[in-house]
């Protein structure tokens, strides 16, 4: 965590009177700002990948070759990762353009080649629209010098149709990495002529590496590191998404547990993801999610022990005001998993993703665990693994002390299918105060 200077807060406060939908990085608490603050997460999107180099020597040839392999639309790891992780519900088709070279100037206004970077405290650059100027320069050069039709990178939107915003832009450069600034939310949204007679807007961008973690921020996902372990992409870049993120993106079938039952859980990465949700007594925005992290693709996308994982979720960590993530007293960013109440952590709290006596994963037929929240509040249910198929599918029994119904289609066993949950009331203005904290290097796990 880094401190925000009083000057930074005062400078950003002057922007508060400007109209903006600043709900970026809310883990899809709101979805009505897809386009401005979030990229589409369903269907097919065309993703623009821009290599950029400032200074002499040009963009490194070896790095460019690696990018072209990673973002190859036919079998490259980027597209495969998201197709698999989303169970086929999202398909980003990447295009790597020729590198943009800036041998003797910096696209950031007021910067030289030697100082061409985005620093954590560079409030003047942000409040003056410096990022907007830089991206106008880059996109204009692609359009004019490379004759690139920018409109071809807008084929998707909240309703599956082109919406006037880029489907997704990744910049790999020596200017900045490890950051995904929500440009529109911080008053640097960039609108340019698309080369086809229209206009197109860049509302959020990923500055990579790490590629998948920063790209996921463009969906609206927040960082989940800084606290107890959770084996998810937003906490550890070496993992696929975890159940809470999958629920929010709509990349799995969520089943409400309301009574004892026995049910099959296929591995979430093997094409038929199913998540169980056990609510707190009386309902509310606090619940426990269960998912099967094993199967054929586990070793390709995961580093944790395969097995059944339980996660505590408390939506209210995002629901107590637009400035929740900024501690105005200490001047620091407050990550939602940094301290209790935690937003989303693996259970039991502080468990070991690598396994062992305090392992997070529940493994082996006959093993069971009481389903409790991160604060030890009991849900009233216990889960037991009763069978494991050769393909990794787990049959689990959830019991509240009464008789478990025979397996069936779920409706008679207390199940109700759901496509996800609504996290609560929208948070509106105030995210602009997080601007300096968004321009920082994230750790690459």
362-391 pLDDT, tens digit per residue, is: 999 999 999 999 998 889 999 999 999 999
The residue-averaged pLDDT of 195-209 equals 95
Interior/surface letters 346-363, b for 16+ CB within 10 angstroms, e for the rest: bbbbebebeeeeebbbbe
Question: What is the C-alpha to C-alpha distance for residues 26 and 18, in angstroms, rounded to an integer?
Answer: 20
In a domain, 142, yes or no: yes
The residue behind tokens 């790209």 is 215
Same domain, 250 and 338: yes
Same domain, 266 and 213: no
Same domain, 399 and 335: yes
Angle between helices 77-85 and 61-70 (to 10 degrees): 30
In a domain, 229, yes or no: no
Alpha helices (H) along 359-439 = 435-438
In a domain, 184, yes or no: yes
Neighbours of 411 (CB within 10 A): 9
**Structure-model confidence comparison of residues 32 and 349, the more confident one:** 349
Q: How many domains does the chain have?
A: 2
Identify the domain containing residue 355 by its residue range.
243-418
| pLDDT tens digits for range 272-319 | 999 999 987 666 689 999 999 999 999 899 888 999 999 999 988 875
What pLDDT sits at residue 281? 64
In a domain, 444, yes or no: no
The residues, ordered by sequence, that sit 6+ positions from 344 with a Cβ below 8 Å of its Cβ are 224, 230, 232, 242, 244, 311, 312, 313, 314, 336, 337
Same domain, 310 and 413: yes
pLDDT at residue 21 greater than cutoff 60: no
What pLDDT sits at residue 329? 53
In a domain, 445, yes or no: no
| pLDDT tens digits for range 64-96 | 999 999 999 999 999 999 999 999 999 999 999
Same domain, 260 and 206: no
Q: Which of 171-180, 312-321, 428-437 has the lowest mean pLDDT?
A: 428-437
In a domain, 113, yes or no: yes
**Structure-model confidence comparison of residues 8 and 109, the more confident one:** 109
pLDDT at residue 321 greater than cutoff 50: no
CA distances from 137 to 82, 107, 285 (A): 30, 7, 44
Same domain, 184 and 258: no
Same domain, 414 and 432: no
Question: What is the C-alpha to C-alpha distance for residues 132 and 27, in angstroms, rounded to an integer?
Answer: 25
Same domain, 433 and 361: no
In a domain, 307, yes or no: yes
Same domain, 282 and 393: yes
Same domain, 97 and 211: yes
Same domain, 325 and 251: yes
Same domain, 202 and 269: no
In a domain, 65, yes or no: yes
């Amino acid at each position: 965590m880094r401190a925000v200077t009083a000057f930074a807060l005062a400078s950003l406060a002057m922007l508060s009177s400007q109209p903006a939908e600043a709900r970026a990085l809310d883990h899809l608490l709101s979805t009505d700002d897809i386009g401005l603050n979030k990229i589409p997460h369903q269907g097919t999107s065309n993703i623009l990948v821009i290599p950029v180099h400032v200074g002499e020597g040009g963009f490194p040839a070896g790095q460019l070759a690696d990018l072209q392999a990673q973002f190859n639309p036919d079998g490259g790891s980027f597209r495969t990762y998201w197709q698999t992780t989303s169970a086929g519900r999202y398909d980003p088709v990447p295009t790597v353009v020729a590198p943009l070279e800036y041998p003797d100037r910096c696209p950031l206004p007021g910067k030289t080649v030697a100082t061409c970077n985005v620093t954590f405290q560079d409030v003047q650059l942000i409040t003056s629209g410096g990022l907007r100027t830089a991206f106008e320069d880059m996109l204009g050069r692609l359009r004019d010098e490379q004759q690139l039709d920018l409109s071809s990178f807008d084929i998707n939107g909240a309703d599956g149709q082109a919406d006037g915003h880029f489907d997704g832009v990744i910049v790999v450069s020596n200017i900045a990495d490890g950051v995904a600034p929500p440009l529109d939310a911080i008053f640097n949204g960039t609108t340019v002529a698309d080369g086809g007679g229209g206009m197109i807007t860049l509302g959020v961008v990923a500055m990579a590496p790490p590629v998948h973690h920063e790209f996921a921020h463009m969906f609206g996902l927040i960082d989940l590191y800084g606290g107890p372990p959770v084996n998810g992409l937003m906490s550890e870049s070496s993992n696929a998404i975890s159940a809470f993120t999958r629920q929010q993106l709509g990349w799995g079938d969520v089943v409400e547990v309301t009574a004892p039952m026995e049910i099959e859980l296929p591995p979430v990465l093997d094409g038929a993801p199913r998540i169980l949700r056990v609510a707190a007594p009386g309902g509310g925005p606090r619940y426990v999610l269960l998912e099967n992290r094993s199967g054929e693709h586990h070793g390709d996308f995961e580093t944790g022990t395969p097995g059944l994982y339980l996660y505590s979720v408390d939506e209210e960590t995002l629901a107590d005001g637009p400035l929740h993530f900024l501690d105005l007293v200490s001047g620091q960013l407050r990550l939602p998993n940094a301290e209790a109440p935690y937003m989303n952590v693996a259970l039991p709290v502080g468990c070991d993703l690598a396994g062992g006596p305090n392992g997070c994963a529940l493994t082996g037929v006959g093993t069971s665990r009481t389903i409790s929240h991160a604060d030890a509040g009991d849900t009233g249910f216990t889960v037991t693994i009763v069978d494991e198929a050769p393909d990794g599918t787990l049959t689990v029994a959830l019991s509240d002390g009464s008789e478990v119904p025979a397996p069936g289609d779920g409706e008679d066993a207390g199940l109700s299918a759901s496509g996800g949950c609504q996290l609560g009331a929208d948070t509106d203005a105030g995210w602009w105060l997080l601007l300096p904290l968004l321009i920082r290097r994230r750790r690459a796990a």
